[in-house]
Structure 1
Amino acid sequence: MWNVIIADDEPLIREGIRESVDWEALGMRVAAEAEDGEEALEKALACRADIALVDLNMPIMDGITLIGELRNQLPSCRIVIVTGHDEFAYAQQAIRHGVDEYLLKPANPKELTSVLTRIGEQLEKAREQEKHLEMASRQIRKNIPLLRERFCNEWIGESLTRQEVLEQLRFLELPDRAPSLFGIVRWPEAEGSAAAVVVRPERERQLMLFAIENIMDELLSPWPHARFRDPHGFLCAIVWDAADADPFGAIERAVSRYLKLFVVTHAEPVIGGVETVPAVYRKARGIIYRETAISPVVRRARMYMRDHHHDPDLSLESTARAVGVSPVYLSRLFRQELGTTFVSLLTQIRISRATRLLLTTNMSIAEIAEAVGYESQHYFSTAFKKAVGVSPIRYRKGDAVDDEGG
């Protein structure tokens, strides 16, 4: 039933309207009556009135003011003016407020019934449309993961303009700005690659991939993100607002701990707008291919270094002890597989972290130096300039951003 309120300061008029219409036949009921505009507004809001029959000449709050308040506070309410004012100025104001009908007293019962019938049909049609929209909205929400997957593959494939990317982000309930990280998780067994140590049935492989995706979703849940599989079968995630975090290292450790699977992960920071994401994806994918050839010992050692790079006392000895090998053996593996030394790799990790903090936070140079494991700002600035070519202050101002982007 549609709720109707009758607002008129004359009791006989209210009674006449109430008695002259077969409300039940129209699927309506008189839910409230009021003798002034203020009372009418209060009762209309209380009963969530669908239709208001309003007189213009009422005490305390006149009809035009009441209509304006209803438009603001109960915009779906349909309004019919029933008044003795046959003046063009009143009709103009009523039109501006979007009233549905303007009837003069005494209201003809047939005319009033006809108006209410038409409004009832409009309300019913609007309700049906709302139901269809809600059903469509539920269906879209249900398919959001699939829609995001398709969108992300089009995004990394450079099939969309910048404006289309921003529109799709808004539609898919993702931040309409550049993300902070692009991460990839590769499970070699899923591809049957040479790195796979076990050949599993397809059903089991898919179950394992699903389990990895669940771990990704759980560990990425603190940040807005879109997870999807790229055309190569890699598990990818585009992450917003996570510039200060390393969720993909945590994903790799969790998969190893809970699923006993060997996966390769890499997170590449996104420096630039949404249009840079395809290039970031290609860079991350290239690194992932190279990473797969690295031995588990070196991967564990490097992950330990990334997790503890903030410790000024981090050393080759402590890292080797953490992964269960000798310092000499670990040093040799670094040279053979990475073509670098422990000290050079640690410096690279610390400087890479520092560049991200310089560009994405307001931390002072001294705070960043401490955060990445340097005991003094001077030592950090010297190491940074040697590695990057400019001082941390100049880098933050953008002097080296273009070179970095190349």
Structure 2
Amino acid sequence: MIKANPIFYQVLIADDEPIIREGIRDAVDWASLGMEVAAEAEDGEEALELALGRAIDIALVDMNMPFMDGISLMKRLKEERPECRFVIITGHDEFAYAQEAIRLGVKDYILKPVNADHLVSVLRGVKEELDERHIQDNYLKKASEQIEKNIPLLRERFCQEWIDGQLEESEAVEQLEFLGLPPKLPVQAGIARWPELTVPQPLMKESDRQLYLFAMENIIGELLQPAAHVLFRDRTGHIGMLLWDEVPAKTCADAEQAVQKYLKLSIQMHLEQVREDSGGITSAYEACREAVLRDAQLSPLVRRARQLIQEQYADPELTLESLAAALQVSPVYLSRTLKKELGTSFVVFITQTRIRKAIQLLNGTDLSILEIAERTGYDSQHYFSTAFKKVMGVSPNGYRKGLAFQEEKGS
């Protein structure tokens, strides 16, 4: 159980009669109650100034003071120091302010002339209440610290449940805010696969594997900056990621190269767009899983070729011949290898890459069709529109107007 540290509560005596103030001050052994008289005031305005300047915990307040009466003083203090406790001093048994006093949280009231035993009894009750508040504050502080310490673990568990499809979107958004993440659907999901984690006989000790995984997370995290993101370990131990800001496709290749350079390890990393529906996270992450498994089967040549295409798709001069020259192989050999490993030709692959990027620009920007054509490697708007319609079944303008989706519904 958490024990409250010894606290001397600060007391203010506010009464316009000096003899009353003196009587209250001398009638109580304040130290034995864990209190001390921090200030005395003869009117309401002075009492307010002293209470705010000295962080008063308990205010003994006379109802009828000049400049500012007791109720007005308590209202102001309630606003400025809501944790302050009030005890009213009044000369009337008929307490006309009872309803207002209860609303302001008055603990009790003392009749003049002040009875010492009654005053001490009331003050003990106030002290118990303040002690309980401090114990509660300590519990809440400890709980908050514990939650803060466990945020990475909570994030990991949350992300795992989300990609497994165990959370509704509304529930997920609520938890995102609590976990310090953007309270909306991510735009990308990703995975970094390290083959060492799936081999039957690991080549290194578990402690070394965890050290390398931590280093990989640091490298990937730096490359994802400044995009809002979270990294986590999925059920297979691989590094999962959710991003709330889009990063370029070449980020995956950059991460793979950086891990190879600094850690001398080979990984496969893949990112997917997240659809704006309830199953978007799950399907995007599953697509990432399948993609890195496919990537693991690719030769270094095809992986490098694909990376260069993703980096240079906006260049109209990018051809099979120029790509082969950059990779120092013959165009025939490159074409045959791409077809064998990717199941598609160079022309189809680069077209798919360009159209995929064009779709992102059509959905996420107000760029003109000509500007999108130029940004995706097409010499002319006409050539771009022809290629787009051949792949998508509608023109770029039609796609932007939603015609593709209308046709899907119609069919």
Partner residue of 1:127 out of 123, 128, 134: 134
Mapped contact 1:71–1:77 kept (Cα < 8 A) = yes
Of the structure 1 ranges 37-46 and 140-149, higher mean CA displacement relative to structure 2 is found in 37-46
CA distance in 2, matches of 1:333, 1:103: 94
Task: Measure how far apart 1:361 and its partner are.
Answer: 4.3
| Greater alpha carbon shift after TM alignment, 377-386 vs 42-51 | 377-386
Deviations 1:106-125 (A, max 9, x none): 33222222122122122122
Alpha-carbon distance change, 77 to 390 in structure 1, aligned in 2, over 3 angstroms: farther
Q: What is aligned with 1:22?
A: 29
| Equivalence for 1:83 | 90
Is 1:99 equivalent to 2:106 in the alignment? yes
Give, as a single letter, the amino acid of the residue that structure 2 aligns with 1:239.
L
- What is the Cα deviation at residue 341 of structure 1? 3.0
Matched position secondary structure for 1:113? helix
**Does the alignment pair 1:384 with 2:391?**
no
| Aligned amino acid, residue 147 of structure 1 | L
Deviations 1:130-156 (A, max 9, x none): 112221221222122222222222222
Which position in structure 1 is the counterpart of 2:123? 116
- Supply the distance in 1 between the matched residues of 2:397 and 2:16 (Cα, whole angstroms): 74
SS in 2 for 1:100: strand
2:164 aligned with 1:160, yes or no? no
Q: Choose the corresponding residue for 1:265, options 265, 269, 279.
A: 269
Q: Which amino acid aligns with 2:24?
A: I
The sequence identity of aligned pairs, in percent, is 54
Distance 1:343 1:256 in 2: 30
1:230 deviation in Å?
Answer: 1.9
Partner-residue secondary structure (3-state), 2:97: helix
Aligned to 2:257: 253
2:343 pairs with 1:339: yes
Measured in 2, the distance between the counterparts of 1:100 and 1:348 equals: 74
Q: 1:213 aligns with which of 202, 205, 217?
A: 217
Unaligned stretches of 5+ residues in structure 1 = none
Q: Is the partner of 1:272 in helix, strand or coil?
A: coil
In structure 1, C-alpha distance between the alignment counterparts of 2:72 and 2:368, rounded to whole Å: 56
Counterpart-to-counterpart distance in 2, 1:62 and 1:320: 90
AA aligned to 1:281 is: Y
Q: 1:361 to 1:60 in 2, by over 3 A?
A: farther
SS in 1 for 2:117: helix
Alignment of 1:181 onto 2:188: yes
Query: Could you report, residue by residue, the CA deviation over 1:265-305 in whole angstroms, capped at 9, with x for unpaired residues?
Result: 11111121454212222222122222211122222222233
- Cα RMSD after superposing both structures: 3.0
Q: CA deviation at 1:400?
A: 3.8
Amino acid at match of 2:281: V
1:119–1:337 distance in 2 versus 1, CA, 3 Å = same
Distance 1:304 1:113, change over 3 A: farther
Give the secondary-structure state (helix, strand or coil) at the position aligned to 2:294: helix
Report if aligned partners of 1:56, 1:85 keep a CA contact under 8 Å in 2.
no
Give the counterpart of 1:359 among 351, 359, 363.
363
For 1:327 and 1:58, the matched residues in 2 are separated by: 97
CA displacement 1:173-216 (0-9 Å, x = unmatched): 223321111101111133228xx9x9445443333222212223
Cα distance change of structure 1 residues 156 and 80 upon mapping to structure 2, 3 Å threshold: same
**1:56 is aligned to 2:63:** yes
| Correspondent of 1:300 among 289, 300, 304 | 304
In 2, the alpha carbon distance for the partners of 1:101 and 1:243 equals 63
Instruction: Go from structure 1 to structure 2 and tell me whether the alpha carbon gap of 1:207 and 1:84 turns closer, same or farther (over 3 Å shift).
Output: same
Correspondence for 1:7? 14
C-alpha contact 2:86 2:108 (8 A) present in aligned 1? yes
Deviations 1:244-268 (A, max 9, x none): 7764443223212221222111111
The answer as to whether partners of 1:243 and 1:269 remain within 8 angstroms in 2 is: no
Q: Is the 8 A contact 2:12 2:37 kept in 1?
A: yes
- Does the Cα contact within 8 Å between 1:244 and 1:357 map onto a contact in 2? no
Deviations 1:77-102 (A, max 9, x none): 22222234655552111112222223
Worse-superposed segment, 56-65 or 178-187: 56-65
What TM-score, normalized by structure 2, do the two folds share?
A: 0.85
Structure 1 letter corresponding to 2:58: I
The whole-number CA distance in structure 1 between the counterparts of 2:309 and 2:15 is 79
Question: CA distance change for structure 1 residues 357 and 52 in 2, over 3 Å: closer, same or farther?
Answer: farther
In the alignment, the residues of structure 2 paired with residue 138 and residue 158 of structure 1 have an alpha-carbon distance, to the nearest angstrom, of 30
Alignment match, 2:3: none
- Does residue 237 of structure 1 match 2:241? yes
CA distance in 2, matches of 1:401, 1:64: 66
1:220–1:41 Cα change, 3 Å: farther
Alignment size in residue pairs: 401
Other structure's SS at 1:177 match:
coil
Structure 1 residue 8 displacement after superposition: 3.0
Work out whether residues 177 and 274 of structure 1, in 8 Å CA contact, stay in contact via their aligned partners in 2: no
Q: Which runs of 5+ in 2 are unaligned?
A: 1-7
CA separation in 2, counterparts of 1:96 and 1:54? 16
Which amino acid counterpart does residue 20 of structure 1 have in structure 2? A
> For 1:2 and 1:310, how far apart are their aligned partners in 2?
71
Report if aligned partners of 1:50, 1:76 keep a CA contact under 8 Å in 2.
yes
Contact 2:249 2:271 in 1 (8 A): no
Residues 200 and 3 (structure 1 numbering): CA distance in 2 closer, same or farther, change over 3 Å? same
